[in-house]
Amino acid sequence: MKFIFADCQDTIDPNYDFINDEFSKNRVIQRTDKYPHEVFEKKPYDGMLISRGLLDDGVYKSSSRAYSSEQTIRLKMEGVKRFLRYYEGEVFGDNGAFSYHQLDEPPYKVDETVKYYEECMFDYGMSVDHIIFQYDKRFDTDSDFDDKFQVTKEMQKRYDITINNAREFLKECKKQKVEFHPIGVIQAWSPLSMKKAARELVEMGYDYIAIGGMVPLDVDSCEEIVKAVREEIGLEIRLHLLGFAKAKQLERFVKYKITSFDSTSPLIKAFKDSKDNYFTPTKYYTAIRIPSAVSTPALKRKISSGVVDQKIAQILEKKALDSIRSYDKGNESLENVLMHLGNYEILFRDKVPIDKYRDILSSKYWQRCQCEICQSVKIETIIFRNSNRNRRRGFHNLWQFQRELEELRKEYNIC
């Protein structure tokens, strides 16, 4: 059960100045910024994945792209491992079907995709799929009685595109004599259609298949799909889960012998989740919001409209930062810190989660955490403020998640 981290060019400036909130003077993003695997002594994942939909390669320009055209050129020239400076693990490639879900057909041609994977020296490459969002088990049981659960022409078209592309992809891999390992992708709308797609891929000759379309689904639906696929193809065929964000429920999937899954969830939760921002072995904590008084949109609007005085906002911001750092050194009481945090945050937020702040501050977990992030920047890790703090917290989450996954592997004697 390998954890594959889906890269979005989330790097940190290792010499960022937290007191003055400034990048290091000699910073060159591609050269001096660090990936998670360069920060920790032990890598916080088992492999990496690059979705082509995040690249700016002139074929399709997604609004969610994370790579500039210059970075994309470098990646193709250097190969994925050199570009990521990731030499000791496997790198997967997929096409990022979610990024082009509004198109009638995928923007990438099969033969050109095979060439892209090979020239960039991926270890694994996934067939060109087209995502289907309308998953529901009732498509298998209620379609004769309820129009809502009848398979549409669009759903069938996307299924056929995915299957036909997988067939052509495997043929093209053999034709081009590639060194990467091909993975066939499933996109379907119900347990029975998932079974049918899995069977077709195995009969084509795939020994590694990936299940797509799972990102928006709840954990029960995800397990329903995996169970159905395993019932159809057995346990010997390798299985990858695309965009699997159900980190808390991994134990439920052990019996299905998942080979690998990719996710950005531990990192993204650090700054996009409303409450679960900081991972520890016993619970997830809410990070403490002390955004900039100068650049926070909600606060800027109030300042420009005259509701808030900017000088007062900056004074309260400084008191919040000074008090929380003093608390970390043992020179400030918890209640005083909470008072200063509340006084500042209420300027731009209707309700301040003081009880959640009390929980994370009382735990002082960052002081005893053994990860390199918490050891180096201490309480800055739990402050929700700009990308260099938020990404560091995300890096910590990756480290913590990988530790929990290793414990799960030991408990069930899996690899």
Residues annotated as part of the active site: 94, 262
**β-pairing verdict for 2-6 and 260-263:** parallel
**β-pairing verdict for 2-6 and 47-51:** parallel
Task: For residue 267, give the nearest of 252, 297, 247, 239 by alpha carbon.
Answer: 247
Residue 91 CA to residue 5 CA, distance in Å, equals: 9
Q: How many Å separate Cα 393 from the centre of its chain?
A: 14
> Within a 13 Å sphere around the CA of 235, how many CA atoms are in the beta-carbon half?
5
Helices and strands (H, E) in the chain, number of each type? 16, 12
Instruction: Tell me if 17 sits within 8 A of 61, measured CB to CB.
Output: no
